[in-house]
Amino acid sequence: MQQNTATLHSAMQGLQIRHFTAGYPKRAVIGDLSVPKLPRGEITVLLGPNGSGKSTLLRALAGLNRAQGELILDGHDLMQMPFAKRAEQVVYLPQSLPAGVHLHVLESIIVAQRASGSQGSQAKTSAQVMALLRLLGIEHLALSYLDQLSGGQKQLVGLAQSLIRQPSLLLLDEPLSALDLNYQFHVMDLVRQETRKRNIITVVVVHDINIALRHGDNVLMLKDGQLIADGKPEAVITAESLAQVYGVRGRIERCSQGTPQVLIDGLVATPTL
């Protein structure tokens, strides 16, 4: 009986998106989207050109955009939950933190932890926050004010605020956009480690396809609000899909260390913005 219960529990783990439509009161952006289960402990990357619906989908998963359909997390329909209850399990990190927040970095992360319902002594909480800042390489910013940080530093603090809340579903909207190459690799490597260690579901929007190839476990490729392809990165990112979705002539080759990478040779269509 215990084995059957464990098997059933394991089968329910993950995020299922069924017949999901999302957008705005007068305009649907995502239409009737259904994807295979996104498992815990893995990173799913959303790819697609500008205007394909990546950010809209992410916000809708967080409950911030109008949506219809089923969104099943570990057997529970998030669409039927009150927003406050949903926010205990789902954490969304936008491209940039709100401007004008005059708090120390350390204080802002403690506030985020308290908002998640986590309780503990001040000393224990501060120690947890400092350990996370150390992982991110920004321990030296603990007593800096948020409104005095660079864009990249704010993104790193936002990631710390998200992780400290211990979500089941972590949604990251272009978390690398303001970071240099060193921090891009560092952050994606850290996100992958934390996703594994915490056994969470991470969905991330990036524009760099090579990041998806290197760091993603799964890829959802969107165009005009429709799912064009899904699966493992090397199965989804092909010359054919690059032509169909991005309008480019590209190829995937392995570097001398065996890592796949995208090379673009030209255009098959004139871009429209």
Look up the pTM and report it: 0.92
Q: Are 165 and 91 in contact (CB under 8 A)?
A: yes
How far apart are alpha carbons 106 and 111 in whole angstroms? 9
Residue 122 is predicted with a pLDDT of: 67
Residue 120 is predicted with a pLDDT of: 55
Residue 100 is predicted with a pLDDT of: 65
Q: CATH topology for 11-237? A: Rossmann fold (3.40.50)
Those residues of the chain that have pLDDT short of 50 are 6, 8
Mean pLDDT of the residues in the chain: 90
Amino acid letter, 54 = K
Residue 1 is predicted with a pLDDT of: 54
Q: pLDDT tens-digit profile of 92-123?
A: 999 877 776 789 999 999 999 887 766 555 66
Q: Are 245 and 228 in contact (CB under 8 A)?
A: yes
Residue 240 is predicted with a pLDDT of: 96
DSSP 8-state symbol, 97:
P
Domain boundaries defined on the chain: 11-237, 238-272
Residue 126 is predicted with a pLDDT of: 85
Neighbour-count burial of 142, counting CB atoms closer than 10 A to its CB (0-12 exposed, 13-18 middle, 19+ buried): middle
CA dihedral 13, 7, 233, 247 (to 10 degrees): -60
- Single out the residue of 187, 204, 196, 207 nearest to residue 92, CA to CA: 204
Residue 24 is predicted with a pLDDT of: 87
